[in-house]
A = this chain, B = another copy of it.
Amino acid sequence: MASLRDVARRAGVSVSTASKVLNGRMAHQHFGPDCIARIREAATALRYTPNYLARSLASRRADSVGLLMGPGSMSANDFWGEVLWGLGEGLSATGQHLVTLSSRDGPEHLALAHRFLQDGRIDGLVLLSFDERLVLPASLFKARRPVVLLGCAHRSAPTVAVDDEAGVAAAVRHLAELGHRRIAWYGPGDDEDSSCARRQKACRRAAREAGLRLDERLFSWRPALGDRVRSRSQRRQIASVCVACRAQADLGSGATGIVCYDDLVAFGLYAAAAERGLRIPHDLSVVGFDDIHAEVVWPPLTTVSHMLRAVGQRAATLLQELIEDPTLREAYAGRRELLQPELVIRGSTAPPREPAG
């Protein structure tokens, strides 16, 4: 295999010049077009392959962007695929590679990301965590390379998220437009997770604006979230919801439409309804939030899309801007970009039955 030395000799330049032209960036600012052409021709003729590590040392770029699955994202790995896809699409125009850092959970996660940023193995980092209460160490944002956050927040970096209040409001309006007059909210009653309280409040406001009567049904499922085994955790969440739904004596007798905190709550309602012989949407309309598994159940679930692909794309774009122009970091710090979610109407919602009596 031809070495850099061979290329330099053939082109009649020094090894250092050949290296800067072949491995560095903006060689045209330092060398004439003739010189650059001569070196490139020599490299082609000799089938010289630049060494990645040497090139990175010269350019100080890894041409890679990291994705860290942070604490709180391990139990939600159904979400990964879509976010990964969106990031990949966003980066494809820039020629950057996407590098997902180790899927191990725990505090060493953040240390690893910090090291990759400091070492220049990645040019920037996207940190994904579904734990809104996550406290990120300030040191992470002191690396020379930028960070963009998904699902969590810090005053030193921008966040991309979905406007879930708008999503819940769209779900409520959809039920109102179908003719429902009394609806219910089903969600976890755990105040610590801000997304629960936020969506619940949004439901309350939207119901008031639409002139609907709202029942609020809260239950606890937090214990299940400590379980890292995804399927078991899902199972337990659905089981919690079933238990909670069975305890609701008015399921199907009061509200005719139900807005759920997320799709798992909706699946719990599907199960509770099946056990009671209630048909969805004939006896009960149900709307979820996430759009992850919504199409494997019957009837397919009407739900608010979490827009994970769009979120990934936007994160890639933001990160690229910060990599290209480090002076933007200050302006972008603490910025919260909210994407508008979309209500995907499927088979679980319909006009309410005529009142029985």
Residues of A within 8 A of B (CB): 49, 51-54, 56-57, 67, 74, 77-78, 80-82, 84-85, 87-89, 91-92, 97-104, 112, 115-116, 118-121, 230-231, 234-235, 238, 263-264, 267, 270-271, 274, 291, 293-300
Contact across chains for A97 and B88 when beta carbons are under 8 A apart: no
How distant is A272 from chain B, measured CB to nearest CB, in Å?
Answer: 9
Q: Are B99 and A101 in contact (CB under 8 A)?
A: yes
Q: Which residues of B contact A92 (CB under 8 A)?
A: 102, 104
Q: A100-B84, A230-B81 are in contact. Are A119 and B293 (CB under 8 A)?
A: no
Kindly list chain B residues whose C-beta atoms are within 8 Å of the C-beta of A67: 100
A74: chain B residues within 8 A (beta carbon) = 85
Which of B49, B80, B98, B295 sits near A231, CB closer than 8 Å? B295
Asked whether B88 lies within 8 Å of A77 as measured between CB atoms, the reply is no
CB distance from A43 to the nearest CB of B (A): 15
Contact check, B103 vs A87: say whether CB atoms are below 8 A apart.
Answer: yes
Q: Which secondary structure dominates chain A's binding surface?
A: helix
How far is it, in angstroms, between the C-alpha of A74 and the C-alpha of B293 when the chains are bound? 16
B77 and A82 form a contact (CB under 8 A) = yes
Q: B53–A120 contact, CB under 8 A?
A: yes
A245 to chain B, nearest CB (A): 12
Report the Cα distance A344→B101, complex, angstroms.
31
Q: Which of B49, B100, B270 contacts A298 (CB 8 A)?
A: B270
Query: Which B residue sits closest to A294, measured CB to CB?
Result: B231
4 shortest interchain CB distances as A-B pairs? A77-B81, A52-B119, A88-B103, A100-B100
The residue from B84, B116, B120 contacting A77, defined by CB atoms under 8 A apart: B84
With A and B bound together, what is the CA distance between A264 and B297 in angstroms?
A: 10
Nearest residue, chain B, Cβ from A80? B81
Q: What's the least CB distance linking A116 to chain B, in Å? A: 8
A264: B residues at CB distance < 8 A? 296
A120 proximity list for chain B (CB < 8 A): 51-53
In angstroms, Cα B116 to Cα A269, docked, is 48
A121 to chain B, nearest CB (A): 5
Name the contact of A57 in the complex, choosing from B53, B77, B293 (C-beta under 8 A). Answer: B53
Asked if A98 meets B100 with Cβ closer than 8 Å, knowing A84-B77, A85-B77, A238-B296, the reply is yes
- Do B51 and A54 touch across chains, with their CB atoms under 8 A apart? no
Q: Nearest residue in B to A121 (C-beta to C-beta)?
A: B52
- The residue on B at minimum CB distance from A300 is B235
Contacts known (A102-B97, A120-B53); A295 close to B235, Cβ less than 8 A: yes
